[in-house]
Amino acid sequence: MGKVKKIVLFLAVLQCIIILSGCWDQKIFEETGFILSLGLELNEDGELIYSATMPVVEEEIEQDIEVLYTTAPLLREARDKIRNTSGKRVEGGKTQQILFSRELAEKGIDEILDVFLRSPENPVLANITVVDGSPLEMLQLSLGYKDKTRIGFYISNLIEQTRKRTSTPETRIYDLAVLLHCKTIDPIATYMKYDEQKVEILGTALFKEDKMVGDLNVTDTGILHALMGKKTNFSYYYREKSNDIKRGIAFLFRKLTGSSKEK
């Protein structure tokens, strides 16, 4: 081949390499806003209020999380609407927990779960929690928590610690999805409440199919775990109603075994 031809070929190959890159899918790290907590509830018209918190990493901004919220009939629509307000590319790949309001949970969470399962980058490892109240209010109140870490990490650590003491069950998205589809086991989720100073774990939210029907407190959650055959590590407090010196006894359960018979 002549020299000119060789050079032209080389340049063409080089150009191909530069064009043929995965640039379409590039998500540069610092331009991405990670949603750590996602809150979902219904407003009076039955539309979805979608709220999210993203940690702020620029040092010049004082507040350490960014709370975004919007209203839309569909989940995906809400996510796109939120993208119109934040300067970062909002991505849900690192979501740690999804907070449902009690009303929304009582109406049914099947459709919403479906959306999370389809997209490949959404983590199926996010915890599912039900909040007694409004998640948006909780996220906004958390801006005032002076002695706690960012709300996303705070809730995530809280759930993890209470899970170890079996005050609350482990339910991730895929757990719930599996249980919903199999129609033989009823799903459960974490249940919590909030106020101006803190977030508190209340116990378990009980579902029938995809609608919430009741809740258990922390002690009963421990017994529920024992019934399910999982290891337990909880205390059961017994109060005496009389005015004796010993006011109560605490039983510490380390490991319970049980068997069940079907009739």
Partner 1 sequence: MVFVSDVLPYGISCKNTKEDKRNIEEPISEKNLRGSHEGFIEILDTNLSMLRRRIHSEKLKFKAVTIGATTRQTVVIAYIEGIANHEIVDALFDKISRVEIDGAPTIGYIEQLIISHPNSIFPQYMTTERPDKAVSALLEGRILILQEGSPIVLIAPVTFISFFQTVDDYSKMWIHGSFLRLIRLFGALVIAIYLPALYIALTSFHYYAVPLDLLITLAESRSKVPFPPIIEIFILEITVEMIREAAIRLPTYIGTAITLFAGLIVGEAAVQAGIVSNLVIVIVGATAIASYVIPSDDMSLAIRILRFIFTIAAAIFGIVGIVSITVLTIAHLIRLDSLGQPYFSPFSPRVIDDLKDTVLRLPLKFMKKRPKTARPQDDIRGENF
Partner 2 sequence: MTENNTITAKQMMRFTFVCQTGVGVINLPALLAREAGHDGWISVAVSGIIAIFLASLIVVLLRRYSDKCIFDITRLIFGKIIGFIINALLCIYFFLVASSGLMMFLNYLKITLFPNTPSIVMAPLTMLPSVYMVWQGTKTVARFKSIALFSYILVIIYIILLIKEMRFSFLLPVGESGLPALFSSLKTGFFAFIGLELIAVFYPEIIDKENALKYHVRANVYTMLFVMLVVAACTALFGENFLSVLNTPLFNLSRVFHAPIIERVDVYMISAWLLAVGCSTRAYLMAAYYSMEKVFKLKKSRIFYALFICADIGLSQLITDINKAFMILGIIGWVGIGVIILIILCLVLSMFKKNGVAENG
Give 53's strand partners. Answer: 37, 67
Q: What does 172 interact with, of partner 2, partner 1, none (CB < 5 to 8 A by kind)? A: partner 2
Quick one: which of 161, 158, 109 has its CA closest to 130?
A: 109
Number of residues that bind partner 1 (CB under 8 A): 26
The burial class, CB within 10 Å (0-12 / 13-18 / 19+), for 203 is buried
Strands 234-239 and 248-253: antiparallel
Q: Which is nearer to partner 2, 20 or 250 (CB)?
A: 20
**Is 27 a residue that touches partner 1 (CB under 8 A)?**
yes
Q: Please identify which residue in 7, 13, 57, 185 interacts with partner 1, judged by CB under 8 A.
A: 57
Q: Is 93 in the site for partner 1 (CB under 8 A)?
A: yes
Residue 238 is a binding residue for partner 2 (CB under 8 A): no
What lies within 8 Å, CB to CB, of 171 at 6+ separation is 127, 128, 187, 188, 189, 190
Residue selected from 8, 11, 115, 125 as contacting partner 2 according to rule CB under 8 A: 125
Among 37, 53, 70, 96, binds partner 1 (CB under 8 A): 96
Distance CA 10, CA 162 (A): 62
Structure tokens at 93: 């790949």
- Name the site residues for partner 1 (rule: CB under 8 A): 17, 20-23, 25-30, 32, 34, 55, 57-59, 91, 93-94, 96, 121, 123, 150, 153, 156
- Name the site residues for partner 2 (rule: CB under 8 A): 20-22, 24-25, 120, 123-125, 172, 174, 177-178, 180-183
